[in-house]
Structure 1
Amino acid sequence: MLKKSLAIMSISAAFFAQAQDVSVIRNTVDVYSSSPNIGSAKFNAMAGSNGALGGDANSLLTNPAGLGVAISGEISGTLSIMSNKNTSSYAGSSYGYTVNKGDLGNVGAVMTFQLMTESAWKFINVGVNYSNQSIENYIETPGNSNLVYDFPDGGSSSFGRHAYDRYGYLSKTSVGVGANYNNNLYLGAGLNFFNSSIDQSDTAIFNSLDDGSSEYFSKQNTPFIERGNGFSASLGVIGKLSPNFRIGAALETPTFWNIDRSYNFYNDAIYGDDYAVENRKLTSPLKATVSAAFIASKSFALNVDYTLGLTKPKYKVYGPAETELNDFFNDEYKNLSELKIGAEYRVKQFRLRGGYAYTSSPFDALTVSRYNDSGDGMADKSYNDLILNDRNALSFGIGYDFKSFYIDASYQNITSKYSNPLLYGVIDGNYEAGYYSPNRLISSEAYAVSNVKNTRNNFFLTFGWKF
């Protein structure tokens, strides 16, 4: 099989990536460095904040010591309906597109084993958790008739439209064990197995100034397909400071990813239009979480989690592409910071829940060379929200306990705004990274940058049984 290395071209002192590599950078952070966090409807209603509360299989998503808190067996399944809308605005126009996806979002189970001895060890519990989420993401950017490109054969076209399309999934399967020591100290450990699937394209439409016809172009090295699997481990502890206060801490090792890629390439001097395959090894960041919980009574509980990334994404180096990706993350990546707050209030068999989560922007300010909207020039511009930005999430939910059986429902709203670089692709005698049709090509020495508003509205329904 033919193997090719993906190259990166520097375009400014702060930021060096082609449009193709914008996708690689986005996926490295948004997919491979971000663990699936879809739990039960209760977990999602509380914004995923349960690091010092624990008590069910979703503890494996934050702090495996929470398995030790459980005092009865439990199994649950969660249906998810996820809606992802991107509205991309450029040159005075906007285009919005929504992707809806229904799936099995989470399955969890805990088996409790009470130790019938006089030892201080009260329970040894085993948990299994499966979390699955769609990573579909479609961004369509309107065109700009002022942005005109000249073809090598003498024709000219204006920029008509651009589409970035990603679909696939990310899943995490965890198994773990938790222990209860004297009902005051809880210890846990887990093993996590990841799977990912990405199919992605990057296309642009250009409108001929000669006859008004439209032509589709694909970015060099697209469409591409990635199939990945990864592994990580986690350790955790929860301690009771008093009957009403708990604190927790957890550490999750980097995820060690093995990623198989295949992609199309065009206009190669030897192979012409063909496809290539390659393998990449990626190590995602090491993460630490600290938690605190206040349990006023059996009717009210509040939990706060804070997660910090301790390292940065790093690719195993096979050539210049991985070296320059690593240089980019070393220079521009900011360690993950995430705050989650969740609360639950019980009224007899009813449960009322709510939560808020904030995730920081993953990058420092980045500078790119960009076209202005009038299409008559380009200049460097710095962005503090390029490619990805911080996210805010609000959630709430309800539940009803039928003694052994229960049903929970929740709603989650996640919003983010960021600047979206597109269209860059230089073509010269040494390197070709532009946009290709069967007979023509486009070379673009600067980015067009749109403003994207991302809104996710997710619904979850959980059915569970305690035994």
Structure 2
Amino acid sequence: MKTKISIIILVLLNFYSIAQSPSDALRFSQAFNGGTARFTSMGGAFGALGGDFGSISYNPAGLGVYRTSEFTLTPSFKSRNINSSFNGSSGEDTRNRTYFDNLGFVLSFKPSGDSQSGLVNLNLAFGYNRTNDYFTNAFATGNNTSNSIMNYFANLPQDIDGSYLTIPSNPNDNYDPYQELGSYYWPAILAWNTFLFDPASGGGYIRSLNDGDGVLQKNLYETSGSTGDYVFSLGLNFSNRLFLGATLCAQNLDYSNSTTYFEDAFSSNDTLNIGDRFNALDYYQNLETKGSGYNLKIGGIYKPIDGLRLGLAFHTPTYYNLQDTYSYSIKSYMRSGTYQESSPIGRYDYHLETPFKTIASIAYVFKDLGLLSLDYEYVNYSTMRFSNGGDGLSFSAENNLIKDTYKSVSNIRVGGELRVKEFFLRGGYAFYPSPYKKGGLNDNANRTILSGGVGYRSGNFFVDAAYLYSIQKENYIFYDLRNTDGSLAINPVSTKMTEGKLLVTLGFKF
């Protein structure tokens, strides 16, 4: 079998690869409806309205609309269901979560007293709006008679001698496994040391699965975490016609992904057995990403005539400082015995720059009857960028892949509100087109959001409730295995995500 080599020989090979991918950049660049119940119930279409704490994360000029000071608190409950289909088999999993979507304070001042001309209001705000969350459980399973993850493991190190893949039995104190072996190769290193692939007679490597065998494949991934805006905002009201605002956002990012993948062999052809025989494997991957960032948002709202409101806002890119912590583990079940190997814990620091955003809005307020509102948001996801890797890596390959994978999109949000005395009835719609270029695996991964809600206001107290329903179809692959023409050798998993979210906002004016 494989023999151990000394650390002196091992360090002759210095590969380094990182875990960052275009999908990571997209995950941390997208923002969906979050904040208060009123904001959510109207599809987030508040760019020309304001007067709601949730709007501060989209068009900070909405802060200038406030006439009084205010406090809001929004707890929420979310249930996310994932239905998966792979090679004719289906899987399903659901995850529920309770958290807070919003906590906000607004302080309103009248520099000119009761005058309604000039600077009527100067408002300050600080608080939190959740912009995205990553709580998901997804399970997929199916039979595969074409290939195995062992093919993927064997393909990774095709040009590397097997001696370099062997984990040293007694590494010295100066041994840095991720620097010397590279995180990209660690799945192959673990598979090699658990006998999941072997040297091929003509060079390279072959899987340990017998010809004629198929495998039952199962994959479970669990993700958690969120991103949110800690906002510090200034809003100005000039003569009740022009509203200007600026928001400095401190972003907090917390994401974890735990993936468990299984394979079990079936349809074994014993007449083809040569050497050891594969029965099953377990493959575990763990990733945690933590960090912080900042961005600046500026905007304006103008009322050319009573009732009509026009809004425009710009968001600078968010500049994140991030750290990944990751590890791998493989356990193989062979005829000769059970073998298990785990990677050391790896850490990597880097920067991420998200896209610039432009939001144009229009709304009409029907005095005491209600309102209608529309937001148009432009985002070019091909401009996402990784930079400043901890080892000086330029990320040129990753950034070129981002440019080749993603495109610009036009997001639409529509909302309406009907008022009957102290009661309010609301509805909303939002459409987020797929950011993937045509021909990609997820070029039809659009997200549609429907929402509705009610509200009640009495004196200085108000309460709002909202329900949001979201649906999105996506595809993913268990592992990246290609045919000679570059096409995928493994069928993708098709998923349908449905999400329900209930929010309640309690508010007080003072």
Smaller-chain TM-score range?
0.7 to 0.9
Structure 1 counterpart of 2:60: 64
Structure 1 counterpart of 2:121: 123
- Take 1:352 and 1:326, find their aligned partners in 2: how far apart are those partners? 45
Q: Does 1:188 align with 2:245?
A: yes
- Take 2:314 and 2:147, find their aligned partners in 1: how far apart are those partners? 52
State the Cα distance separating 1:299 from its structure 2 match. 1.7
Structure 2 counterpart of 1:314: 385
Q: Give secondary structure in 2 for the equivalent of 1:448.
A: coil
- Take 1:454 and 1:215, find their aligned partners in 2: how far apart are those partners? 28
- Take 1:359 and 1:445, find their aligned partners in 2: how far apart are those partners? 27
- Take 1:445 and 1:350, find their aligned partners in 2: how far apart are those partners? 55
- Take 1:361 and 1:402, find their aligned partners in 2: how far apart are those partners? 42
- Take 1:121 and 1:130, find their aligned partners in 2: how far apart are those partners? 27
- Take 1:346 and 1:186, find their aligned partners in 2: how far apart are those partners? 24
- Take 1:35 and 1:192, find their aligned partners in 2: how far apart are those partners? 14
TM-score (norm 1): 0.82
Q: Give secondary structure in 2 for the equivalent of 1:410.
A: strand
Q: Give secondary structure in 1 for the equivalent of 2:304.
A: strand
Structure 2 counterpart of 1:250: 313
1:341-380 alignment, distance < 5 Å: 341-366=414-439
Structure 1 counterpart of 2:256: 199
Q: Does 1:138 align with 2:137?
A: yes
Structure 2 counterpart of 1:437: none
TM-score (norm 2): 0.75
CA contact (8 A) 1:158 1:206 kept: yes
Q: Does 1:401 align with 2:471?
A: no
State the Cα distance separating 1:74 from its structure 2 match. 1.1
CA deviation vs aligned residue, 1:163-194 (integer Å, no higher than 9, x gap): 23221222211110111111110111010011
CA contact (8 A) 1:68 1:124 kept: yes
- 1:416 pairs with one of 467, 472, 478: 472
Counterpart amino acid of residue 137 in structure 1: T
- Take 2:97 and 2:329, find their aligned partners in 1: how far apart are those partners? 33
CA contact (8 A) 2:283 2:329 kept: no
Aligned residues: 411
Counterpart amino acid of residue 23 in structure 2: R
CA contact (8 A) 1:36 1:131 kept: no
- Take 1:199 and 1:425, find their aligned partners in 2: how far apart are those partners? 25
State the Cα distance separating 1:265 from its structure 2 match. 4.9
1:5-16 alignment, distance < 5 Å: 5-6=16-17
The structure with the larger Rg is: 2
Structure 1 counterpart of 2:78: 82
Change (3 A) 1:122 1:4: farther
1:7-26 alignment, distance < 5 Å: 24-26=21-23
State the Cα distance separating 1:396 from its structure 2 match. 0.3
Structure 1 counterpart of 2:95: 99
- Take 2:227 and 2:233, find their aligned partners in 1: how far apart are those partners? 20
1:255-334 alignment, distance < 5 Å: 255-265=318-328, 273-310=343-380, 312-316=383-387, 318=389, 322-334=395-407
Change (3 A) 1:404 1:287: same
State the Cα distance separating 1:275 from its structure 2 match. 2.2
Structure 2 counterpart of 1:377: none
Higher strand fraction: Structure 1 or Structure 2? 1
Q: Give secondary structure in 2 for the equivalent of 1:336.
A: strand
Counterpart amino acid of residue 476 in structure 2: N
- Take 1:5 and 1:148, find their aligned partners in 2: how far apart are those partners? 28
- Take 1:283 and 1:402, find their aligned partners in 2: how far apart are those partners? 44
CA contact (8 A) 2:36 2:53 kept: no
Structure 2 counterpart of 1:29: 26
- Take 1:170 and 1:90, find their aligned partners in 2: how far apart are those partners? 31
- Take 2:101 and 2:429, find their aligned partners in 1: how far apart are those partners? 20
- 1:216 pairs with one of 282, 301, 313: 282
Higher helix fraction: Structure 1 or Structure 2? 2
CA contact (8 A) 1:49 1:340 kept: yes
Provide the identity percentage.
28
Change (3 A) 1:266 1:450: closer
Change (3 A) 1:167 1:4: farther
- Take 1:177 and 1:445, find their aligned partners in 2: how far apart are those partners? 51
Q: Give secondary structure in 2 for the equivalent of 1:423.
A: coil
CA deviation vs aligned residue, 1:356-378 (integer Å, no higher than 9, x gap): 000011110345xxxxxxxxxxx
In structure 1, stretches of 5+ residues that fail to align are: 8-19, 368-381, 427-443
- Take 2:373 and 2:139, find their aligned partners in 1: how far apart are those partners? 39
Counterpart amino acid of residue 424 in structure 1: D
Q: Does 1:229 align with 2:229?
A: no
Counterpart amino acid of residue 280 in structure 1: Y
Q: Give secondary structure in 2 for the equivalent of 1:171.
A: strand
Name the stretch that deviates more: 78-87 or 208-217.
208-217
In structure 2, stretches of 5+ residues that fail to align are: 1-10, 151-195, 199-207, 269-276, 331-340
Counterpart amino acid of residue 323 in structure 2: D
State the Cα distance separating 1:110 from its structure 2 match. 1.2
- Take 2:434 and 2:488, find their aligned partners in 1: how far apart are those partners? 27
Structure 2 counterpart of 1:12: none
Structure 1 counterpart of 2:162: none
State the Cα distance separating 1:237 from its structure 2 match. 0.5
State the Cα distance separating 1:140 from its structure 2 match. 1.5
Q: Give secondary structure in 1 for the equivalent of 2:24.
A: helix
State the Cα distance separating 1:5 from its structure 2 match. 4.0
Question: CA-atom RMSD, angstroms?
Answer: 2.6
State the Cα distance separating 1:61 from its structure 2 match. 1.5
Name the stretch that deviates more: 125-134 or 337-346.
125-134
CA contact (8 A) 1:36 1:172 kept: no
- Take 1:200 and 1:404, find their aligned partners in 2: how far apart are those partners? 43
- Take 1:272 and 1:69, find their aligned partners in 2: how far apart are those partners? 57
1:439-454 alignment, distance < 5 Å: 446-454=489-497
- Take 1:310 and 1:327, find their aligned partners in 2: how far apart are those partners? 14
- Take 1:250 and 1:383, find their aligned partners in 2: how far apart are those partners? 29
